[in-house]
Amino acid sequence: MTESDSEKIVKEIFEAYNRRDIDFIINNFADDLIFVLPSGETIGKDELPQAYSMLFDAVRDGKWSIPRVISKGNVVAVEILVEGTHTGEFLGIPATDKKIVVHAVW
């Protein structure tokens, strides 16, 4: 897989975030994926559909973007920006109806 192929897949995954296409997102992750939640709890690929459903329900108007991509071979790192309104409970936090902005690196 070339650098451009790897970047293309990552960009397609983030387009799927904006479509709320959980199946597409998960099908592009490795079977042995370990995802670390903000709480520090870890979950596997089988638990991701429920986690993504909660996230997408909590921030229904969420817009995902990737301001920066760095890649070498099949390894890709992305700067992520998520903006939206906290309209549903997430990780035990009740809806606030406030705008959120989250910066992350994956």
CATH number, domain with residue 20 = 3.10.450.50
Query: Range of 101's domain?
Result: 3-105
Spatial separation of the C-alpha atoms in residues 48 and 46, rounded to whole Å:
6
User: So what's the pLDDT on residue 28?
Assistant: 93
Cα 8 → chain centroid:
16
The span from the CA of 29 to the CA of 35, in Å, is 10
How is residue 12 written in tokens? 């397609």
Q: What is the pLDDT of residue 90?
A: 87
Q: Which residue has the tokens 């099908």?
A: 27
Alpha carbon of residue 99 to chain centroid: 18
What is the total count of domains within the chain?
1
pLDDT at 3: 59
Write the single-letter amino acid at 32: D
Token readout for 63 is: 């817009």
Q: List the chain pLDDT tens, one digit each, 106 residues.
A: 565 888 999 999 999 999 999 999 999 999 999 988 878 889 999 999 999 999 999 999 999 999 999 998 888 999 999 999 999 998 889 999 999 999 999 8
